[in-house]
Amino acid sequence: MRKFIEGLPKSYFNYPMPVTVVGIQKGETRNLIPLVWHVQLSFDPPLYGVSISPKRFSHNLLLEAEEFSVNFLPFEMVPLIARLGSVSGRDVDKIKEFNVQVEPARKIDGFILKDAYVSFECQLIEHTAFQGDHTFFVGLVVATHYETEFFDENTVIDVKAVKPTLYIGKYRYLTVDPESLKDTSK
């Protein structure tokens, strides 16, 4: 049976989505927020966008810091990702509370996650609060850190070497089956 609904209800119809963990630092205040509403916007210039609700502690922190990191953690790190999303940075220093391993960023006043297989350092260049319930932040990617053994010569992820983390909604995660890969380039 097919159901018809006008508009788009709060749903997870378009999931699964890759998970990223955004890191933000302003002075001594640091926070991490897992997100699935994010996207690469351009190769030249290299732009990356993240969407954060004004209700979240990270929202105003990012407005103040004007810099952020985007970190992709392997599927084995799902317990940490879930914990990071279960508490607010208003109440808890997530890095200390969950013993998150970080290292200083090189081009921004911030940090990246040591366990990430790829991280972007971004400088905020624009933000827009649309009529919805999230603000879209656009960052210029000024540096990329990645583990070479997890990518091929074209920087395409090797899903046999690392399992990306996907979110399907309602606190449930999955990864890809490397055996299902179809290479249509040949």
pTM: 0.96
Q: What is the DSSP letter of 74?
A: B
Q: What is the DSSP letter of 178?
A: G
- At the topology level, CATH places domain 17-179 in Pnp Oxidase; Chain A (2.30.110)
Q: In the block, which residue shows the tokens 């599927």?
A: 75
Q: In the block, which residue shows the tokens 């732009």?
A: 47
60-92: per-residue pLDDT in tens? 999 999 999 999 999 999 999 999 999 999 999
> So what's the pLDDT on residue 8?
83
Average pLDDT over residues 19-47: 98
Query: Can you give the residue ranges of every domain in the chain?
Result: 17-179
How far apart (Å, rounded) are the C-alpha atoms in residues 112 and 95? 11
